[in-house]
Chains A and B, each alone.
Chain A
Amino acid sequence: MSTNGDVLIQVKEVHKIFHDSLHALNGVSEEILRGEVVVIVGPSGSGKSTFLRSLNLLEVPTTGKIFFEGVDITEKQTDIDKHRQKMGMVFQHFNLFPHKTILENITLAPIKLLKKSKEEAEKQAMQLLKQVGLEEKAASYPSQLSGGQKQRIAIVRSLAMEPDVMLFDEPTSALDPEMVGEVLELMKKLAHDGMTMVVVTHEMGFAKEVATRVLFMDEGQIKEQGRPEEFFENPKDPRLQEFLSKIL
């Protein structure tokens, strides 16, 4: 049994070099504890998305190790697909499957990967849809939904796999301003329900209100981190001070 406070993800000295030149991650070590809501901020090109995407190996580190629930997932023999089932991911551009209905989008992975029966998966999907107030969209296709609705469905699709951690890669950046709120609301609700979350975002309000810890990334490194109060009130790193003065 694992409880809150256990180390869920451990990142050890990770470097990521793109095309032999761009040093996107420059020796990052970090731990994500169960129950934490970690928000990662930083200027564009600072490596925050690369860091997030390396947690489930969408980006494979050039060197360094990543442990998930005690297993080294950077080890070649590790069945990464099995571990990814426990790590939900939400993308900036939703990436719903356009050829499938909302219900099929949500039930595809539970049916094929968790071997749930169609009825069981659909029942669970409808419950989740009800929680986000979109149950009447079950038979619709993604193209018939607004951006905010798409992103909430994308979150539900990940939740249907009952993950141990949810990774959010700028989940509100592609949304019209009036739709940002509904997605953040859902993410807040998830956080309150105890979901472990790692969120890359520019929504400082969300970071202040919901994060248990905020990381500042710059030049491929974590330059500063702390509880939101001290992070925003009392930044020490000059680059962070500059960054915060620009966006707040």
Chain B
Amino acid sequence: MLQTFQKKFYTNFIEDDRWKYIWEGLGVTLQVTLFAVLLGIVIGFLIAVVRSTYDKTGKLKVLNLICNVYLTVIRGTPVVVQLLIIYFVIFGSVNISKIPVAIMAFGINSGAYVAEIFRSGIMSIDNGQFEAGRSLGFSYAQTMVYIVMPQAFKNVLPALGNEFIVLLKETSVSGYIALQDLTKGGDIIRSRTYDALMPLLAVALIYLIMVIVFTKLVNILERRLRNSEH
């Protein structure tokens, strides 16, 4: 029993340095996730500004309409399909490395969700804060930057942390464009050794540990923010 385990472990991970598929795949997964989240934050922030400006003042009507179309399309279609379209249709005739494509696809996808996180954060700030800023003589933009945004950002930090965790798992479909992420790495080992259990279990375990660790971090952050009076 123990011997077969040892043997299987050897063929799946040690032989031909197969552990490298997992290790390098993990690197790709983290890289794609991190940059996609950052891209998502930038896109989400811009959309949230447009949408909440429209909600509060009725300005930016056309931009708001464009943002709504983007949100509807991105949230209404599967991320795998979006990834395939970006890789095979939009960049179909261009020779481009897969990592930036994945970052772009997941970033654009995440941006739609982050936008709603930011928007709810802005809308959760009491309108009195806004009026106090305006009554002192601050413009709409200044009030947003000095008074509303800093408070809203603090409120949404935990939600952004959760978005990172969600995205970490979602990037596991990167294999559809043959990007060798963590999931694909385990799958390659399976195709070499004809043993599905061990490599896929290892992959699942790594995702699980990362999610547990990041969830813990988000919880700590949440508690800190709640305890701090300001």
Contact = CB atoms under 8 A, between A and B. Distances in A.
A81 B138 contact: yes
A143 B227 CA distance: 12
A84 B128 contact: no
A109 B151 contact: no
The binding surface of chain B is classed by DSSP as helix
B16 interface: no
A82 B138 CA distance: 9
Contact of B136 (A85, A93, A144): A85
Given A91-B132, A144-B229, A98 B137 contact: no
A97 interface: yes
A: contact size bracket: 20 to 34
A87 B128 CA distance: 17
B: contact size bracket: 10 to 19
Contacts of A157: 136
Interface in B157-177: none
Contact of B137 (A97, A100, A143, A161): A161
A95 B136 contact: no
A17 interface: no
A158 B131 CA distance: 13
* Centre residue among B126, B137, B138, B154 by max chain A CB count within 10 A: B137
B224 interface: no
Contacts of B128: 91, 93, 95
Contact of A98 (B134, B135, B146, B230): B230
A71 interface: no
Contacts of A88: 135
A99 interface: yes
Contacts of A95: 126, 128-129, 131-132
A56 B135 CA distance: 7
B136 A161 contact: yes
B158 to A, nearest CB: 17
Given A84-B134, A84-B136, A154-B132, 14 more contacts: A81-B134, A81-B138, A81-B139, A87-B135, A93-B128, A95-B129, A95-B132, A97-B151, A112-B138, A113-B136, A113-B137, A158-B135, A161-B137, A167-B135
Interface of B: 126, 128-129, 131-132, 134-139, 142, 146-147, 150-151, 154, 229-230
